């Protein structure tokens, strides 16, 4: 039985600008065929086991000819695959979707075209330029600038296009900007007509260059302004001075790697996005229920005597989450902890308990094991029983100190931290091209696993790869691990919380901005 092809527009670059239907298609695809303008974050939305095929084109070379891409889609469909052909922007705007769809139809392959947000309108909008304006421009033209001068002259009627609409949008025309400007002046546009080029629009490395038809070529050469970029010609460009919005966000211009587990990354990822940065999710750890029979037996034994504990200390959100999973699995009623006092490290852990109807004892001023002991130390008495539901990689410092004070400590590994992270060629490329600004680490295991994955991907010594990248650690324990790994941490908040880490990133970005 033949499969189905979805010809999907990925939008201009910001992964959240894909349509709901486009995202649904990606999540059910067996194969994703994509080009370089598709956001790497969209590739991570595929179901487990799905395969990815890169067919992107660069200005100086083609990974695969268009005819070969067309045939690839047919072959995959005839194998019974559900395939998404993911294209930057909208597939019907210079996306050659017609050629692909025509061949599919000739072979009897079922397909759907899923429109995307074209860069022709979205990229100028992110630069503060509306392509139409009631008082300035009531019409817009979208024109290819990719062809040779001869082909441009054959495909574009310059005498008609030049003044046909208030705004002219040229896609893929950076290399021909001088010729385009010259033709527009020749056919009647005033030399002082405003022009804007927006490169990598909607992404963290968005750049905007503004000039006029008369001087834009010189400005492009002086700035070494490269593709991909959208060219906007017309009076609407002047609106940028009033409507610039994305450049003013506190983390604009920063691409930040998030190494946290996928289940926990959302808070950090969302905050980076809200503040104008571009998060790059690269989870290097995952937390799972213990599989070892011995550990399961220890947990069961501890849960059978929950009424005996004087204290239960939770040192992480994961500790809370997995403790409740075990309560359900063991069919134990939480009310058996009626006599225990509950302590939490940090506001996030306390909030996780609060969501479950448990009010934690006073929070320590320092959000780590040391702070917890400092806060509760005077009330800890010899002979008291303490339960520590933690992860398998938790430090021995806290139970050791509690035992030194004469308390009876029961440690249970309610969850395990395992290495995650597939080889990611896109991340490697961004690091090699120095297009990653910062990497965030929220635990020692994220540091160790991140370094290990880079080594697995062919960099025996990853440190040069991270040269110039700001290393941000959530707390002193993580920072020490980073130093031991040879890294040079540059950011660490006073409080070991996600929000404090985000604010530290904001302060850093503000300090590096050109005034």
Active site residues: 35, 57, 172
- Is 377 buried (19+), middle (13-18) or exposed (0-12) by CB count in 10 A? exposed
Query: Residue written as tokens 């029979």?
Result: 293
Torsion of CA 181, 187, 189, 194, to 10 degrees: -10
Q: Alpha-carbon distance 198 to 125, whole Å? A: 10
Return d(Cα 74, Cα 110) in angstroms, integer: 10
Is 383 exposed, middle or buried, given 0-12, 13-18 or 19+ CB atoms closer than 10 A? exposed
Judge contact between 449 and 287, C-beta under 8 A: no
Cα–Cα nearest to 486, from 458, 457, 452, 435 = 452
For the chain, report the end-to-end CA distance as a whole number of angstroms.
61
CB atoms closer than 10 angstroms to residue 160: 9
Distance from C-alpha of 373 to C-alpha of 497, rounded to nearest angstrom: 18
**CA atoms within a 13 Å half-sphere pointing along the CA-CB vector of 257:** 27
Smallest CA-to-CA distance from 493 within 483, 515, 478 is with: 478
Element (H, E) at 184: helix 177-186
The verdict on whether omega for the bond into residue 65 sits within 30 degrees of 0, i.e. cis, is no
What letter would DSSP give residue 378?
G
**Residue 58 C-alpha from the chain's centroid:** 23
Helix %, strand %, coil % for the chain, to 5? 40, 20, 40
At residue 163, what are phi and psi to the nearest 5 degrees?
-120, 20
DSSP β-ladder status, 285-288 and 408-419: antiparallel
For residues 236 and 140, the answer to whether their CB atoms sit within 8 Å is no
């Amino acid at each position: 039985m033949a499969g189905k092809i979805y010809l999907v527009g990925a939008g201009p670059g910001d992964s959240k600008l894909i349509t709901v239907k486009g995202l649904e298609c990606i999540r059910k695809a067996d194969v994703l065929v994509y080009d370089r303008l598709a956001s790497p974050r969209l590739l991570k939305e595929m179901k487990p086991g799905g395969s990815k095929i890169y067919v992107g084109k660069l200005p100086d070379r083609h990974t695969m000819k268009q005819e070969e891409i067309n045939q690839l889609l047919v072959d995959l469909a005839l194998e019974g695959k559900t395939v998404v052909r993911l294209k930057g922007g909208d597939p019907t705007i210079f996306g050659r979707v017609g050629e692909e769809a025509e061949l599919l139809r000739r072979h009897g392959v079922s397909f759907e075209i899923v429109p995307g947000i074209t860069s022709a309108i979205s990229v100028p909008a992110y630069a503060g330029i509306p392509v139409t304006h009631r008082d300035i421009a009531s019409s817009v033209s979208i024109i290819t600038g990719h062809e040779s001068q001869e082909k441009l002259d054959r495909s574009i009627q310059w005498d008609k296009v030049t003044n046909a609409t208030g705004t002219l949008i040229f896609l893929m025309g950076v290399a021909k900007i001088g010729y385009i400007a010259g033709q527009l002046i020749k056919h009647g546009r005033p030399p002082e007509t405003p022009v804007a080029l927006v490169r990598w629009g909607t992404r963290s490395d968005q750049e905007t260059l503004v000039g006029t038809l008369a001087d834009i070529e010189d400005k492009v050469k002086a700035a070494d302004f490269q593709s991909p970029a959208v060219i906007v010609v017309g009076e609407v460009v002047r609106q940028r001075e009033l409507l610039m919005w994305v450049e003013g966000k506190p983390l604009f211009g920063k691409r930040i790697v998030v190494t946290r587990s996928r289940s926990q990354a959302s808070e950090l990822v969302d905050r980076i996005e809200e503040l104008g940065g571009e998060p790059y999710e690269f989870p290097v750890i995952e937390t799972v229920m213990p599989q070892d029979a011995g550990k399961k037996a220890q947990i069961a034994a501890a849960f059978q005597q929950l009424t005996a504990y004087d204290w239960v200390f939770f040192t992480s959100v994961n500790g809370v989450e997995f403790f409740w999973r075990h309560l359900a699995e063991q069919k134990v009623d939480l009310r058996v902890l009626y006599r225990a006092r509950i302590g939490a490290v940090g506001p996030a852990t306390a909030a996780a308990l609060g969501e479950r109807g448990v009010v934690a004892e006073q929070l320590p001023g320092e959000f780590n094991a040391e702070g917890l002991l400092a806060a509760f130390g005077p009330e800890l008495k010899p002979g008291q029983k303490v339960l520590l539901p933690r992860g398998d990689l938790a430090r021995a410092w806290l139970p050791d100190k509690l035992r030194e004070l004469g308390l009876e400590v029961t440690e249970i590994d309610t969850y395990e931290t395992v290495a995650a992270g597939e080889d990611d060629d896109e991340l490697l490329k961004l690091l090699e091209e120095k297009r990653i600004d910062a990497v965030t680490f929220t635990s020692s295991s994220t540091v160790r696993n991140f370094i290990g994955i880079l080594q697995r991907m062919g960099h025996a010594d990853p440190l040069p790869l991270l040269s110039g990248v700001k290393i941000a650690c959530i707390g002193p324990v993580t920072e020490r691990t980073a130093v031991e790994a040879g890294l040079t941490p540059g950011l660490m908040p006073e409080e070991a919380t996600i929000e404090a880490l985000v604010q530290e990133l904001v302060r850093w970005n503000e300090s590096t901005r050109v005034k």
